[in-house]
Every structure is written in structure tokens, then in C-alpha cells.
Structure 1
């Protein structure tokens, strides 16, 4: 099958690469050679884009002093090591004389070229991996050394989002609220321990379902559920028509203490389970 005709841009790049390999007497024998070349190309592309970004910031290109309308100017470069899927590479970051230029292509504290790296870390963290597990995984998969403190800094970014979600205002009335706890074994301080995840799922008066909250405790208790009820009250829930719960001792009393008019309905699954004991 014949190769498709190159676009002008791709043809120019192909010719540039051919000349680069020929003039520098470079031969590609394996994937390590490919990685090395890709790393060099990426470095050149990033540095060129960063220089153009500073041109835009200053309002004139290098040596174009006729169009210079500012007392600010370029002030050499600083070196920064970036982690990439092709290995580590040094990138020359341009600086300005006033010292207030912050590149947008490579952020101030960014040290990886892969933009979705933090998302990968957050995903692993959400799946229950410890910072040590993530550090080892990143080293094995990407050959990148990321310290526990860096991983913690990344994962801590989700804490304000979680807190905002947990404290968001709710509807005044819910037709039904299902409340139950799921028990998990998790790793904590090097030990496997059991934790209870409390979940409140509400159906509003328009029939729309919404997770009202998720909370983690050492074990399921009516006292903890009482604190959750008070939390829902503080977030704007004035009444619950039906509360669907399991057979936990003291659970109905905890609900009635906050929502005395709520009808308590024991979950049919728990009723069947209890009847077979």
C-alpha cells in the first residue's frame, strides 16, 4: 500500500528530520535511540514556544527594537528539568528583566510535560493506593521519581473540592432518603483496618436522585447517623417524607430526633435478610 501524500507541514518536518540525522551522523537502532531523539525534539519545540510566548508578553520579538514600547526586556534563561515519557530533559525557560513573567505553557511549579499526570495520580489515590504505592507505580510505569510530599500536595488539591461538595446547600424537602453504610477494608498507617462509609441518597420532590453526602467512620453507629442528620438539617433540609434504613439499633430514634414527622421504612432487603436469621 502506497504511503499517503504528506501535508506541506509534515513534508517539511520529514526533510528536517532527514537532514538532522544525516548531518549529525545519527542512526536509529532501537527504541532508546527513538526516545533520545524525541526528547531532543520536544525540548526544541518547547523552548521555541516559550520564546514566542515571551515575545507576546513583551510586545516585540527578539532584536526588533524598533517596535519596543516597554522598558521591560529579556533576561537570559533559567534551566528546568522536565519529566517526560521519553525521559528527563532540560528546558531553557526565558526570563524578563522585571522578573514578573510566568510562562503559561510550562507553569511555575510544573515539572512534567504530561498534562494528565496529576489526573493519573488522583485516579490512583481515589482507588485506595497509598502515596508510597503511587510513588512506586509512577517509578515503574513512567520512570519518574515523585516524592510522597509531592503526591500529597497533588492529592490535597481535591480536599477543598470535596469539602465544598460536602457542605453544599440541599433541597428543603426530600420525598425519600436512603441511608446505609458500606464496610471496607482499607490500609491505614501500614495496617489493614475496617472502615464504614455512610451514604445518604435522596430523591427530591421532582423525582431526581442525588447523593446528599458520604462520610467515613470507624464503624456504623446510630450516634454517627445522628450527626449526619444534624448536618443535613444545617444544609437546608427541613423535612424528609420517608427514610429508608436498615435495622441498626437506635437508627429510627436518631432520625426522629431531627425529623420527628419522617416515616421510617426498613429496607426490604434487610427485612428479608433478618427474617431468614
Structure 2
């Protein structure tokens, strides 16, 4: 058989092929080129050509497996080379975003640890072939984990962030042969050009003053300066930690959560007008107007016994919920609630729903970090566009 000889820019070739719309008649050519490229990658990885002996080899060839690969020209079947240790991975399949790699790794770990559902095992076989080894998974984590860890611990002393958002969400993790609930603490901020940035995250046990204090203290140790406002829900431990860690910082209670709590305590019938009057308070632009509308609300409904609890809670939480009105008007729509952070949480939740139960805490840390890193990169792209404009 004649040996195939060619000299191509493989990065350019892969990019062109993966983004092409060429007809199905050339699929065989694409398969030929990609198979040959993967063979070359394995040779480079092993540090020795086929049928040659060398004391410098890194591993041994172990045949091939077939794998379907979806491309813009349709599904093709590739002949993927493998090594005895299972650590070799062709770069052809590295099209996935960082968070998708972390997502796949979580599923791989579930399969390796014998805790996967049939659905997850089927997805893993689609991604990686018939089976995966522990050494293969270890090689992937060794590449991705340091990247996530370095980003999570990067310095925060290059920019001042006047408005910081913090929230926690819960996930399930296998730990010591049982399933436990853990909290993911996430902090984001608005920078000088009103773009969102992720400051940090942490995975710990249930929310508490001590856990929040440690998380916020870690942000300070990385160079974060005390902001003007911290926007969050009304968790008592978090409020206490904000006061303890950040000097001279005000707490902004999320108005969306606050309004929902007030409405939840209202009667279920004939309450539309009351809701409109309540909304008027939170739609105010100036702090003095908000206070006036609040006083009018109290005066109008204070004799209604069914609204006694609502009025009491409104009076108690009013000042904390209106801190944002003391800031420039251009920021009001962004800093009155934690909605933006909750949308980011949903990006994490979208992948977490498939995993359901993380095989370990490091797996959860890796996936959450990768999702947040990809989000941060998207925000950075927007920042560049704004600067150009």
C-alpha cells in the first residue's frame, strides 16, 4: 500500500473542514485526512514511529476504535487511534468549550466511579467511544484543573468595583459514600464601563455566617477593595459577614426578592390595587419619592388587618431595599436586584441538572469554574466591542 504523504497546516485544515458546507461526496476525503492527522498525533505523543523501537517512547499503540463525529457536512465515522494507557486524546475532538469539557469530565468520573445513570453512560460513549479508563480521566483533569484553579485565585487589585453581587445555590455531591447538599457561593461585580465580571466562587457546606465571612475574606485577600454596595438576598449570616468584612459598605437588599416576599403575605383575592401601590414605591427614582410613596401606602392600608404583616415587613426592610436610589440613576436598573447573578446561576444549573449528583466536590468545582470562566470571556469580548465603539 502506498504511504500517504502530505504537508499541510493542520490547524487551518481542521478549522476549514469543521466550518465547511462541502457536499457529502467528499466525506471520504475528510475522513482520510482526519484519520491520518490523528495517526500523526499519536506518533508524536508516543515519540516513536510505528514498527520502531525506542527507549524514549511514552506509551504503546493499542489499535483503534470507530467513532461517529458530527460536522457541518454531516456525521462521519472516524478511526480513532488509542494507546495502551488510554491517556492519548486526539485534538480533533477538542471543539468543545471549556465548560463542555468540564461537563463531559463530570460524566466520565461518574462512569469511572460506577455511579452513572444509563443516560449519562450513553452520552459518555457518544463523546469518547466505547469505554474510558481512570488514567484517561486523570490526564484530562490534570490539564483542566490547574487552569480553573489559577483563574479562581487571580488577583483582584487592578480594578475598583463599586457594586458587588453575591448569591448562593445548592447542588448535590457524593462524599464519603453518601449524597450531601453543598452551597456554591458566587460573587460578581459591575466594572467601570458597566460590564459584568465574575470575582470568585467557592463550594462549601450550607450557608452560614462563617462560610460567607471566609468567602468574602478570600476576595479581600486577593486584593478586592470594599465596594459601595453589596447586593444580595436577606440571609442573616450573609448580612452579618458583609458588615464584618467590608468597611464602609452598604447592603442593598434585592428588591425582587423583597417584593415577592411582601406579595406572598398578601391575601389571594382582590389585591391588584394593593400590588400596584406597592410597585409604585419600588419604581421611584429618588429616595425621598420612594419614602413618600411608602408612607402613603402605610396610611392607606394600615387599618386593613389582612395587610398588617405586609406593612410591618415593608417598614422594617424599606431602608435596606432603597440603598440603590442613593447611587447615580444610570446604575439603578442594574443594582436593585440580583437578577443578573441568578441568570448566571441558571447557566450552572442547566448543566447540573444532567449530572444530578456530582461524583465529588472537585468535579463540581471544575464544572462551575469552567462555566464562570466562559461567561467571563464572553463579557470580555463585549468590553472590547464597547471600547471600539
TM-score, structure 2 length as denominator? 0.43
Shift of 1:250: 2.9
| Matched residue, 1:214 | 201
Say whether 1:154 aligns with 2:140. yes
Q: What CA distance in whole angstroms lies between the structure 1 residues aligned with 2:221 and 2:165?
A: 19
Q: Secondary structure at the match of 1:210?
A: strand
Q: Is the 8 A contact 2:38 2:90 kept in 1?
A: no
Counterpart pick for 2:92 among 112, 115, 128: 115
Q: Is the 8 A contact 1:174 1:205 kept in 2?
A: yes
Say whether 1:225 aligns with 2:201. no
1:49-107 alpha-carbon deviations (Å, 9 max, x no partner): 68x99xxxxxxxxxxxxxxxxxxxx995256224442587779xxxxxxxxxxxxxx9x
Q: What CA distance in whole angstroms lies between the structure 2 residues aligned with 1:203 and 1:168?
A: 17
1:98-124 alpha-carbon deviations (Å, 9 max, x no partner): xxxxxxxx9x98645563169575332
Relative distance call for 1:190 and 1:172 in structure 2 (3 A) is: same
Q: Is the 8 A contact 2:104 2:124 kept in 1?
A: no
Q: What CA distance in whole angstroms lies between the structure 2 residues aligned with 1:255 and 1:47?
A: 53
1:198-255 alpha-carbon deviations (Å, 9 max, x no partner): 1101112332210111211121122111111111111111221100111111322211
**Counterparts in 2 of 1:59-208, with a 5 A limit?**
77=52, 80-81=61-62, 82-85=64-67, 111-113=88-90, 115-116=92-93, 119=96, 122-125=102-105, 130-132=110-112, 133=116, 137-139=123-125, 143-170=129-156, 171-188=158-175, 191-208=178-195
Shift of 1:144: 2.7
TM-score, structure 1 length as denominator? 0.58
Q: Is the 8 A contact 1:182 1:197 kept in 2?
A: yes
Q: Secondary structure at the match of 2:164?
A: strand
Shift of 1:129: 6.6
Say whether 1:249 aligns with 2:236. yes
Superposition CA RMSD, Å: 4.2
Q: Is the 8 A contact 2:39 2:81 kept in 1?
A: no
Tell which deviates more after alignment, 124-133 or 195-204.
124-133
Equivalenced residue count is 206
Shift of 1:193: 2.9
Shift of 1:162: 1.1
Q: Secondary structure at the match of 2:162?
A: strand
Identify, as 1 or 2, the structure richer in strand: 1
Work out which of the two has the higher radius of gyration on C-alpha atoms and give 1 or 2.
1
Q: Is the 8 A contact 2:86 2:132 kept in 1?
A: no
Q: Secondary structure at the match of 2:214?
A: helix
| Matched residue, 2:250 | 263
Q: What CA distance in whole angstroms lies between the structure 2 residues aligned with 1:150 and 1:200?
A: 33
Identify, as 1 or 2, the structure richer in helix: 2
Shift of 1:262: 0.4
Q: Is the 8 A contact 1:198 1:214 kept in 2?
A: yes
Q: Is the 8 A contact 1:186 1:193 kept in 2?
A: yes
1:112-149 alpha-carbon deviations (Å, 9 max, x no partner): 55631695753323579724346664446664321133
Relative distance call for 1:90 and 1:211 in structure 2 (3 A) is: closer
